[in-house]
Each structure stands twice: as C-alpha cells, then as structure tokens.
Amino acid sequence: MTNPSSPKPDQGVAVLSVVVPAYNESEGIRTFHEMLLIPALDEMREELSRLGQVPYEVVYVNDGSSDSTLAELHALADQKENIRVVNLSRNFGKEIATTAGIEAATGQAVVMMDADGQHPPAYLPEFIRLWQGGAQVVVGVRSNDAGGFFKTQGSRYFYRILNSISDSQTVPRSTDYRLLDRGVVDEFLRLGERKRITRGLIDWLGFRREYIEFEAPERLAGEATYDMRKLVGLALNSFTTMSIKPLFIFGYLGVMITLVAFITGISIIVQQFMMGDPLGWDITGSAMVGILVAFLVGILLIAQGILAVYMSHIYVQAQGRPLYVVDRSSSRNLAR
C-alpha cells in the first residue's frame, strides 16, 4: 500500500536531518554525538538509504556558547561532511537556535532534539517508523515528571491554562523532541514571528500527528539553563504568543465590578434615600464613597478592556501568521 503523503525521494538532499541546538554543552556533547546519536543513526542507515542518496545529516547549532562547545562541534564536523555546524553570533535562546537549525536542514524529515541526552536518540527509529506510516508531525511526550515538586505542578497548570486559552491543543508533557515532515518544515519557515515558541507554532500548524512516549534521563553533564525564573518567562511567552485572551481578563473583571457596584449603589439610593431606610441598612457616607470608587474603577477597567480588543487586532495582524495552512501532500490538482 502506498501512502499518498509518504515523501518522494527527491524532496530533500538528506533523508533525515537531526537538528540539535547547543548552548554551553562542551562537557557532554561528544558523548552525546559518539555514544548516542551516531549509533542510533547508523542503525537506521540501511532503511534510510532506501529513501535517498544521503541517509542522514546532523545540524548542530551553537547558540553563542561561552565554553568550548564550538571547538568540539568543529572537531565532529571536520570528520564528516554530513555533520554540519551553524554558529550563531551570540546567544539567541533555544527557540531561535532551533529555527536556525531547521532552516539549515535539508532533510525530507527533520527531527529536533536537545544536546544533553535528555531526548534519547534511541527513539529515532520509532519516529521514522511513524513518519513512514504517514504522520507529518511526530511529537515526543515525556512519560516521567520534569523533576521537583514545583516543576511538576507548574507544568500541570501550565498545560491546563494554555489549552483553555489557546485555539490549538497541546498535549501535556509534549516536548521539543519532534519530527517534522518537509511539508511542515516549509510551512514552519514561513512563520516570521520574532517572539516564538517552537512547540506552539508547530501545534498551531496542525497536520497529521502521532505521539511517542519516552522517558527523559538525567542530563549527560552540566546544568539545565532553564531555571524556575526562565520557565515562568517561557510560560508567559507561551500564553501571550498563543492566545490574546489574557488581554481581556481585566475587561471582564471591570464589567463585574461595575455591575456589582451599580446594583449596590442603586439599591442604597432607592432603599435609604427614596424610601427612608425601611430595612434599617444605615449605610455610612464612607461606605457610599467606597461603592462610588469601585464603580469608577470598574469603568476604567472596562475602558482598558476595550483598548485590549483593539490591541488584540493589531497584535494578530502584527504576528502575520498565514490565514490558513494547506496540506499540499494531500490536496489534489492544485494550480501551484
């Protein structure tokens, strides 16, 4: 049975590209490359050779490391021409480094993974199997917790909030360990957002997806650069790039405050001043000032909410995402 979406051999230079962003990974990068990545790729060599001339390439992106990562990568690349190094001029952060690597990749399928061994290359054959079975995006999902009470709980709430406010759905614990078909890569590269969360953009793109559960081991060496502070920043970026709803929260709050203050105020006026306080509320002057202030604050928040609506239009326009994404592999007789 031939799958209509299976890649044709001429759609890329390499069959599989592995994109690996690396920031200060000098201690573990050689072990990662020689002990984990290359053995896994060589195991698939024959299978990949059937799909094209160059079975695989590895694209390392040195994200402005301040240690000897670049020298280590040069040493690896000097041995083989299918090991490539993109050297960024300074540290741009993982999301952008990954994008740079995807752009440099030539493969019919592109897999991105971390350089620290936490995305085990041993799962690569499974990614390829699902891709060959017709999946256009294969997402690695961590089966174990991120480690630590706060990280674990934080990640639970993160996905809950993200999925309740954004248009696309993100599977909890899904990671950046992902395979993208060339068709998805081409669409991904058209997205020009500066503030970007790679995972979020891929989820927004859609396409046929499959999931692989994997157990993330400890880092090979060194420390994770994403500490609590950075993770909170990442979460905020995810919420605000994937959804405009946070802008409206205070507008809704304003509507509620105004309504409550208005009803309370009217009741007091009617009951106490027009009917002579038959219920004996005996509301004091300062309490009434309080209600008036609440009413005015509510109005201000509503005004902010209205501004937020306009801002959200500008924001969406400025993000400049395509209106829709066509899956060319399964469309028929398109003019171009």
Which parts of this chain interact with ligand UDP (CB under 6 A)?
21-23, 25, 63, 91, 93-94, 97, 114-116, 118, 224-226
Closer of 18 and 51 to ligand UDP (Cβ) = 18
In the complex, the smallest distance separating the C-beta of residue 70 from ligand UDP, rounded to whole angstroms, is 12
Q: Which of 85, 87, 109, 112 is nearest to 99 (CA)?
A: 112
Q: Pick the closer one to ligand UDP by CB: 63 or 187.
A: 63
Q: Which is nearer to ligand UDP, 212 or 216 (CB)?
A: 216
Q: Which is nearer to ligand UDP, 166 or 198 (CB)?
A: 198
In degrees, to the nearest 5, what angle opens at C-alpha 294 toward C-alphas 291 and 297?
155
- Tokens encoding 215: 């157990």
**How many residues line the site for Mg ion (CB under 5 A)?**
3
Residue 240 binding target from ligand UDP, Mg ion, none, CB below 5 to 8 Å by type: none
What distance in Å separates the CA atoms of residue 190 and residue 318, rounded to the nearest whole number?
14
Q: How far is the CB of 128 from ligand UDP (least distance, A)?
A: 21
Name which of 266, 162, 141, 275 is nearest 215 in CA terms.
141
Which does residue 93 touch among Mg ion, ligand UDP, none (CB within 5 to 8 A, set by kind)?
Answer: ligand UDP
CB of 32 to ligand UDP, least distance (A): 9
Please tell me what DSSP assigns to residue 8. P
Interface with Mg ion by CB under 5 A: which range of 68-76, 118-126, 300-308, 325-333? 118-126
Cross-sheet strand order for the sheet of 54-62: 83-87, 54-62, 14-22, 109-112, 174-181, 137-142, 209-214
Helix (H) or strand (E) holding 77: helix 69-79
Question: In the complex with ligand UDP, which residue's Cβ is closer, 67 or 126?
Answer: 67
Question: Smallest distance from the beta carbon of 332 to Mg ion, in angstroms?
Answer: 42
The closest alpha carbon to 151, from 220, 216, 63, belongs to: 216
SS3 label, residue 211: strand
Site membership for Mg ion, residue 116 (CB under 5 A): yes
Task: Give the residues lining the site for Mg ion (CB under 5 A).
Answer: 116, 118, 224
